[in-house]
Amino acid sequence: MSAQSPISPQILKGALVAYQLPDLLPTLIVFQYNPEQVTRSLSGRTTSGGGRGDALRTDGPPQESISLSVEIDATDQLEQPQQNGVTVDNGLHPVLAALEGLMYPSYPVVVANQVMALAGSAMILGEPAPLAMLIWGARRIVPVRVESLSITEEAFDTQLNPMRAKVELSLQVMTYRDLDVTNPGYWVYMASFTQKEVMSALNLVDSASKIEGMLPL
């Protein structure tokens, strides 16, 4: 019988979902504990040159970077070893490998390229990284590229499997300028863009009455 109160709110988990297209089976990395802090940095794309009146022109959407720290701990799984055999045998290696895999090209493509190179072929297949999506609640789902990972492993079992780790993630949001219209991430970004417009409109409704009569236009 669960000890959780029936009136306790359902807490959504943040996650990273990655697709190595054209394979439609995603890699799912659900955050065991939601980060307490998410840092977002936006840098405008301004036009260069131009004459009077061009100061407010932009050269597309801002460049947005996101950084967060994810903590992973195998303690809970080890308390029920019969139900968590993978963790007992491997520690956190599987989830860490999944995170690192967000920066690697497709393994089959790499092997195919090596075979073709050894056979003297001049044709090399493209080696794109997976298409990753950061899911941070229903109102923030954006396509991202993993810029960097910093992994600190803090505890190990007798086989030197990591049992506790802290991962610093640096992500770059992919916009409609970065993705082709045929890429699913393009439409994910446009949906996020639309959501931002909706939230901005809600703020206008809430704030306009507070400065009514002071607006210059």
pLDDT tens digit sequence for 41-98: 999 887 666 666 667 777 789 999 999 999 999 998 888 988 989 999 999 999 999 9
Q: Is residue 215 part of a domain?
A: no
Domains held by the chain: number: 1
Task: State if pTM tops 0.75.
Answer: yes
Contact 65, 172 (CB under 8 A): yes
Q: Tell me how far CA of residue 203 lies from CA of 192, 195, 198, 206, 211, in angstroms.
A: 17, 13, 9, 5, 13
Closest of 138, 172, 170, 165 to residue 10, by C-alpha? 138
The residue segments making up the domain with residue 192 are 27-41+59-202
pLDDT, tens digit, 9 for 90 and up, residues 107-139: 878 888 888 888 887 677 777 888 999 999 989
Q: Is residue 1 part of a domain?
A: no
Q: Is residue 95 part of a domain?
A: yes
Contact 37, 152 (CB under 8 A): no
Q: Is residue 173 part of a domain?
A: yes
